[in-house]
Amino acid sequence: MIYLIPDVQLPQPYLLFLGDTTEPGYAKTAFGLRDWAGERCVGEFACEGATVTTGLRSMTPAQAHAAGARAMVIGVANAGGFIPPSWLSALVLAMEAGLDIISGMHARLRDFDVLRETADRLGRRLIDVRQPPAGIPIATGRRRKGQRLLTLGTDCALGKKYTALALTRAFAGRGVDATFRATGQTGILIAGGGIPMDAVVSDFAAGAAEMLTPDADEKHWDVIEGQGSLFHPAYAGVSLALLHGSQPDVIVVCHEPGRERVLGHPGYAVPGIEETIYLALRLGSRTRPNIRCAGVSLNTSKLSESAARKLIAEESSRLGRPVADPMRGGEAFDRLVDACLA
């Protein structure tokens, strides 16, 4: 079952809007769409002062519309999910060029007078995808049929979504029935549905995870996109709700080598892989007693090919588990997939 805003079909293709972003970690929506829905992206557009780029062609909204774009997607997922005043003129410009606006921010597009009035005047759509479905129940803790895998991270924005997408694709390549379950705005835009977990009232968050991963055939796998980190000073709550509600049989822990401080919270150190595995298994066993960790996903995008391969081999030996970078693939990733399905 796919959960999205009722009666909404997302207009495509997209122009990716980067705002005035200078932190690549906050542009994960744009990067995610580029990497996993590239056929739906015609280019990028940014405000003055932006230093982040997806590498797609830089286009004005008018040029993008002429190239076939039908919506501009806010490709930023900043802390707090806010839309700063400096972006409003660019969003208006996009609507004047003929584009609808799609947002995954916490802030609602129609709450801004200038956006609402412009959209109404021009007949454009303002679409917020960070909107949970109605009627989410409180979690029951009841064990459900089917197989489930959850990606967990040592921090935010380091590869949980990419890992889940790569594993879903690998499972399907082996003839395994698998569904990617999106839990954040970027995943929802890629998959076409899901539940934005960080927009759910906390008492219902575990229930939302149950709703997203219903009873299934015993051989079916739900591969669930993780959120936040169990150690995060702000977002641990959504991570725990996903862990308890999805009741994963298997977890894969995601980590970025070299990241020492929590993104956006430099006063906190990033936890180690071992303590993340330990805590996830300890807490996860509350609703899934036989939970296990299949292995580790490393985001080695900042390393050379040789350095990445060396680190992956060393960490696998040190941890005694399969370790891989799903985006590099290879034998290491094959071993991680094997361990997940074992």
Report the C-alpha gap between 25 and 46 in whole angstroms.
Answer: 16
Q: What's the whole-model pTM score? A: 0.90
CA-nearest of 185, 197, 246 to 27 is 185
Cis (ω within 30 of 0) for the bond into 13? Answer: yes
> What's the DSSP call for residue 327?
T
Complete domains list, the chain, with CATH: 14-128 (3.40.50.720), 147-341 (3.40.50.300)
Give the position of tokens 């744009």. 30
Helix axes 28-36, 160-173, angle to 10 degrees: 20
The whole-number pLDDT of residue 3 equals 52
Report the C-alpha gap between 188 and 274 in whole angstroms.
Answer: 30
The whole-number pLDDT of residue 193 equals 87
The whole-number pLDDT of residue 5 equals 45
Cβ neighbours, 10 Å, residue 42:
21
Find residue 14's DSSP bridge partners: 41, 71
Per-residue pLDDT of the chain (342 residues; tens, 9 = 90+): 445 544 457 899 999 999 999 988 889 899 999 999 999 999 999 999 999 999 999 999 999 999 999 999 999 988 788 999 999 999 999 999 999 999 999 999 999 999 999 999 999 999 999 989 889 999 999 999 999 999 999 999 899 999 999 999 999 999 999 999 999 999 999 998 899 999 999 999 999 999 999 999 999 999 999 999 999 999 999 999 999 999 999 999 999 999 999 988 999 999 999 999 999 999 999 999 999 999 999 999 999 999 999 999 999 999 999 999 999 999 999 999 999 999
Report the C-alpha gap between 228 and 276 in whole angstroms.
Answer: 12
At residue 262, the 3 state secondary structure works out as strand
CA-nearest of 12, 330, 313 to 322 is 313
Provide the phi-psi class of 297: left if phi over 0, else alpha when psi is between -120 and 50, else beta: beta
